[in-house]
A and B are shown apart, each in its own frame.
Chain A
Amino acid sequence: MKSFTYERPGTPAEAAAAVARNPDAKFIAGGTNLLDLMKLQVETPAHLVDVNGLGLDTIEATPEGGLRIGALVRNTDLAADARVRKDYGVLARALLAGATGQLRNQATTAGNLLQRTRCPYFYDTAQACNKRRPGSGCSALDGVSRQLAVIGASEACIATHPSDMAVAMRVLDATIETVDAAGAERNIPIAEFHRLPGDAPERDTTLKRDELITAVTLPRPLGGAQVYRKVRDRASYAFALVSVAAVVQPDGTGRVAFGGLAHKPWRVEEAEGDLPRGARAAASGMLAGAAPTHDNAFKLVLAERTLGAALKQARA
């Protein structure tokens, strides 16, 4: 960990301004990911802007009939919220599928969206990684890639996004609210929030550097059966090989997003029309263009079968 300076601003706009002033500054909230990365010098901020004192920790109903979740609402509290449990079951289930009780107590809503990949080469500073050090290359491409992306990847990066929560939010069409140093607010649909790596894998999201997430808004409840099915090598405390967030209506129509497959939660709205025809039909559209490695080709079979399991569960 490099030495850093630290401040606690009074308002979200001040926080954004503090980051804007210092090119080596970063926001810190729960710190469950950033601090680990700082210890390894994968992240080396010279200045931390602690947003924990900004409030932003309530869950409120919106006039549109949805929910507005403060950026600093802890994962545990979000998963336990009665409205979330009742109307957004897929989100509650996704949250509880992630990490551990201790981590969920500390991790925040915004921080969960912003967590960085778990690609082992990203974590090892002796290895080439375009996400950690742009232009250095990607060791994962011909390295150990069992956990890594099968779709939407690039020659520069095959990292996956590790979040469970974000997959559920993607299927719920959440909106990310931000404020920047100038005080300007912006609403970013979650579909446009996480990026594909392309030739700039160092950028995980479309946020500007000085843009602070203040809330995540969920639209009106979708109803239907809401399922989050996470597949991993052990029963708890492991990142997904594949996960499926699904909201399925009684007539068989619905929405679905995959985790563990790509640099972002993977949802293909155009293919969702095939859901009533079953997992195979829907998956073939959603996974069209996939380019797995030898190590992770199984994820395509697994994704289809996990979708099948999720649809079965939704019908049950």
Chain B
Amino acid sequence: MKFDTPAGQNPIDQLKVVGRPTDRIDGKYKTTGTAPYAYERHDVAENQAYGYVVGAGIAKGTVRAVDTAAAKAAPGVLAVVTTLDVPKLGLGTMNYANLFGGDRIQHYHQAVAVVVAETFEQARAAAFLVRVDAAPEAGRFDLAAEADSAPPVKADSGEGSGADGAERVGDFEGAFAQAPVTLDETYTTADESHAMMEPHATIAAWDGDRLTLWTSNQMIAWAKGSIAKILGIPKQNVRVDSPYVGGGFGGKLFVRADAVLAALAAKAAGRPVKVALTRPLIPNNTTHRPATIQRVRIGATPDGTITAIAHESVSGNLPDGGPETAVDQTKLLYAGANRLTALRLAHLDLPEGNAMRAPGEAPGMLALEVAMDEMAEKLGIDPVEFRIRNDTQVDPNQPERPFSHRNLVGCLRLGAERFGWDRRDRRPGQVRDGQWLVGLGMAAGFRNNLVMKSAARVRLDASGTVTVETDMTDIGTGSYTIIAQTAAEMMGVSLDRVVVRLGDSDHPAAAGSGGQWGANNATAGVYAACMRLREAVAQRLGINSADATFADGEVRAGNRAVALAVAAEAGEIVAEDAIEYGDLSKRQQQSTFAGHFVEVGVDVDTAEVRVRRMLAVCAAGRILNPKAARSQVIGGMTMGVGAALMEKLSVDKRRGFFVNHDLAGYEVPVHADIPHQEVIFLDEVDPTSSPMKAKGVGELGLCGVGAAVANAVYNATGVRIRDYPLTLDKLLARMPDAA
């Protein structure tokens, strides 16, 4: 189905099932331990052996030799495959670090061997017997040291939200020099790890030259293509299956070493092999969100009109790697006649930087939205009002290009009202509650909406059951549920008549889970397939499909009403289609918006920051399932608290690795850190996004919230920290006297 004109009235608008806060249909399996994750799929292949990965202990250099004699002689060991046993393998799509093969070490904990044994314990014990002789080389590990010489870059974030290097509108420098009120500050954000609960894990089995991977992956079609490319085998010989994913956050957009090594190990052992990355390997072996150094300049007239805005960011990556596109949102979020955005990229020998939930906007908003707070203070204008004053309904870089639907102002006004923003004292450091200095902060939330082809197959059987098959994944987001809701709405059946099968590369290729594009595109693909099925059903029943309505398990036309199941009595009806997009998203800018409001307390003695309450008001088109969407947003808000207050991969700049490579050292918020969270969705639709009229929320909840925390910390203390995370050591020396 081609989608190239805004959606009119369609069956989804009935909202009998879609739009309802339905419980997650996979929830009971997750909570009772009956949803098997990749490593737990004991029944998919017999005689599974266990692989254990050995990571390099140097950051850069050459592997001269790997002594596997002791490991091979250890009890239970079936095979050992080292990186010297195979030539350098191909790279997966959108990846830059070699996952295995050859003698070059590009980053710490790069896989150098996999040991296969009868039991996990035997494999692990033997892995410690592998002796790797590696010659280390000096490397570049310090972003700040490389930043000044980092060259400009043109790049794409890998998720379609491209940044094109330097972009200019008008004369930024001239306007900035003329501006009566200016701000010029630099902000730094840390390297971050996805820290999903389920580690990367794969079971691999070969049947002749055909490979099956039961794995944990967000993007099945990408995974299938990438593993074929990496291993040099035909794509049609690969099957990837990933029905349940215990969190991804971008860390499972790509095939990782677990999949490659499971495949190689299964070949070597001659039987199925399962491999999970151990937690201490994950931060250095896989990808991470790269650190940034961002400079923001804003010039305005005294009435708060922005006349000049510039955002430049430098980040680092391995050679051929991409930049963190932290300036993306600044192209679109606020008006201003004179503009500059630019990216620079340093070569670093740290592990590969790549997408993590809201790549670009997540760190970019941490800078821009603090700069906006600082500017509002300089202007003596309320920060909510300052943002409203600079709202734009068109793409400021291309004023002829409007936003498809933009109600940022509504988010900010409603949020301010609900949060009690008018009770905020503009003067920082004024409010005490016992031991706590209390502050309020806010920020805009912004993340683009991305459209992407997505296919599905729908079956109707004689029992009246509608089965949806697509390779779409559910990474904890609610895909199963919203797809079932979509099919139920389209076919006029109740939710319990719908079966959803996801994550299998034998199914039609969906948009997958990433970039908050999954919900809208995958359900739109199901919509398209259901339209086909409705036609096929009508045809079987001898009804003109244009006259047919599907409701209450029946197909109705005129005075006729037939049970839907009757249509399949002569045999199952199968329909398949994809949603494919025209240029609507080019002609109009599709984005999602939020107002984030946060109250923090800062301990007057110790400078510990604790969030007291949070509110997000979101405008993201139709909300397909408010319960699942709320979970997405509060998860994003929690991640934003992490980025603002504690999450940081600490770089050992001499040895070149992330030192705190486990969940004790890499701290993410725990329950005690997250108090009251409230989410409000504005009631709106965006007919340009798809027939679903929905947009994404999975990343919107994260974008901006960290800046709201930082702005609240400033309001509480009067101390402005521009170096994330805002740990207490940075605040302490400048805290007001602890009287």
Contacts of B662 in A (CB 8 A): 123
Per-residue A-contact encoding for B632-660, CB less than 8 Å = 1, 0 else: 00000000000001100011101100011
Residue in B128, B435, B651, B655 whose CB lies within 8 Å of A309: B435
Whole-angstrom distance between the alpha carbons of A305 and B729 in the complex?
Answer: 12
Would A233 and B646 count as touching, CB distance under 8 A?
Answer: yes
Q: How far is the CA of A125 from the CA of B54 in the complex (A)?
A: 12
> Across the interface, do A1 and B124 meet the contact criterion of CB distance under 8 Å?
yes
Contact flag A231-B728 (CB < 8 Å), given A238-B667, A305-B738: yes
Instruction: Assess whether B606 is in contact with A302, with CB atoms less than 8 Å apart.
Output: yes
Known contacts A120-B659, A120-B660, A237-B670, A144 near B650 by CB under 8 Å = yes
List which A54-70 residues lie within 8 A (CB) of chain B: none
Taking chain B's interface residues, is the majority helix, strand, or loop, or is none over half, making it mixed?
Answer: loop
B659 interface neighbour in A39, A121, A301, A305, Cβ under 8 Å: A121
Known pairs A2-B128, A39-B124, A144-B650; A234 contacts B732 (CB<8 A)? no
Q: A126 CA to B54 CA in the complex, in Å? A: 11
Q: Report A-chain residues with C-beta under 8 Å of the C-beta of B665.
A: 118, 120
Whether A139 contacts B280 in the complex (CB less than 8 A), given A231-B606, A298-B729, A301-B732, comes out as: no
For window 113-171 of chain B, which residues contact chain A by CB distance below 8 Å? 121, 124-125, 128
Q: B546 interface residue, CB < 8 Å from A?
A: no
Give min CB distance, B142 to chain A, whole Å: 13
Q: Are A308 and B738 in contact (CB under 8 A)?
A: yes
B121 touches A1 (CB 8 A): yes
B667 touching A234, Cβ below 8 Å: yes
How far apart are B117's CB and chain A's nearest CB, in angstroms?
12
- Neighbour of B664 across the interface among A118, A139, A306, CB < 8 A: A118
If A3-B125, A142-B654, A233-B646 touch, does A309 touch B661 (CB 8 Å cutoff)?
A: no
Interfacial residues of chain B within 366-387, with CB under 8 A of chain A in the complex: none
Residues on B with beta carbons closer than 8 Å to the beta carbon of A1: 121, 124-125
Residues of B within 8 A of A40 (CB): 280
1/0 per residue B596-615: CB within 8 Å of A?
00000001011110100000
Query: A153 to B109, alpha carbons, bound, how many Å?
Result: 30
Residue A241, interface by CB 8 Å: yes
A135 close to B (CB within 8 Å): no
Distance of A312 Cα from B57 Cα, bound (Å): 48
Interface residue B727 (Cβ < 8 Å from any Cβ of A):
yes
A305 adjacent to B673 (CB under 8 Å):
no
B672 at interface, CB cutoff 8 A? yes
Compute how far the CA of A124 lies from the CA of B278 in the bound complex, rounded to whole angstroms. 13
A41 and B278 alpha carbons, distance in the complex (Å): 14
- Is the beta-carbon distance between A124 and B280 smaller than 8 angstroms? yes
Whether, in the assembled complex, B61 has its beta carbon less than 8 Å from a beta carbon of chain A, the answer is no
Query: A282-316 interface mask toward B, CB cutoff 8 Å, 1 = contact, 0 = none?
Result: 00000000000000001001100110110010000
Q: Report the separation of the CA atoms of residues A143 and B670 in the bound assembly, to the nearest whole angstrom.
A: 27
A118 to B55, CA, bound (A): 21
Cα of A312 to Cα of B606 in the assembled complex, Å: 13
Given contact pairs A231-B728, A302-B606, A236 touches B670 in the complex (Cβ within 8 A) = yes
**Which B residues are CB-close (under 8 A) to A309?**
435, 603, 605-606, 738
- Cβ of A8 within 8 Å of any chain B Cβ, yes or no, is no
**B124, B605, B650, B667: residue with the most chain A Cβ atoms closer than 10 Å:** B605
A205 contacts partner chain B, Cβ-Cβ < 8 Å = no
Q: Give Cα A142 to B121, complex, Å.
A: 35
Contacts of B672 in A (CB 8 A): 234-237
Complex Cα distance, B610 from A236, in Å, reads 11
Interface hits, A107-156 → B, CB 8 Å: 118, 120-121, 123-127, 139, 142-144, 146
CB distance from A230 to the nearest CB of B (A): 10
Nearest A residue to B609, CB-CB: A233
- Say whether B671 faces chain A, with CB atoms less than 8 Å apart: yes
The residues of A that contact B660 with a CB separation of less than 8 Å are 120, 144
**Is B669 in the interface zone, CB < 8 Å from A?**
yes
Contacts of B570 in A (CB 8 A): none
B731 nearest CB neighbor, chain A only? A298
Q: How far is the CA of A305 from the CA of B736 in the complex (A)?
A: 12
A62 to chain B, nearest CB (A): 36
> Contact partner of A236 among B55, B57, B605, B671, CB < 8 A?
B671
A126 CA / B59 CA spacing, docked (Å): 11
**Which B-chain residue is minimally distant from A139 (CB atoms)?**
B655
Select from chain A the residue with minimum beta-carbon distance to B730.
Answer: A298
Q: For A144, A237, A238, which residue has the most chain B Cβ atoms within 10 angstroms?
A: A144
Q: Which residue of B lies closest to A232 (CB)?
A: B608
Do B728 and A143 touch across chains, with their CB atoms under 8 A apart?
Answer: no
In the complex, chain B residues whose CB is within 8 Å of the CB of A305: 605-607, 732, 738
Which residues in B have their C-beta under 8 angstroms from that of A234? 645-646, 667, 669-670, 672-673
Q: How far is the CB of A292 from the nearest CB of chain B, in Å? A: 11
A-B contacts, 13 of them at CB < 8 A, read: A121-B659, A126-B58, A146-B729, A231-B728, A233-B645, A234-B669, A235-B610, A241-B729, A302-B606, A308-B738, A309-B603, A309-B605, A312-B605
Q: A125-B57, A233-B646, A236-B672 are in contact. List 10 more A-B contacts (CB 8 A).
A: A123-B662, A124-B659, A231-B606, A232-B608, A234-B669, A234-B670, A235-B670, A241-B728, A302-B732, A309-B738
**Which A residues contact B (CB, under 8 angstroms)?**
1-3, 39-41, 118, 120-121, 123-127, 139, 142-144, 146, 229, 231-239, 241, 298, 301-302, 305-306, 308-309, 312
6 smallest beta-carbon distances between A and B, as pairs: A126-B57, A235-B672, A309-B605, A298-B729, A236-B672, A144-B659
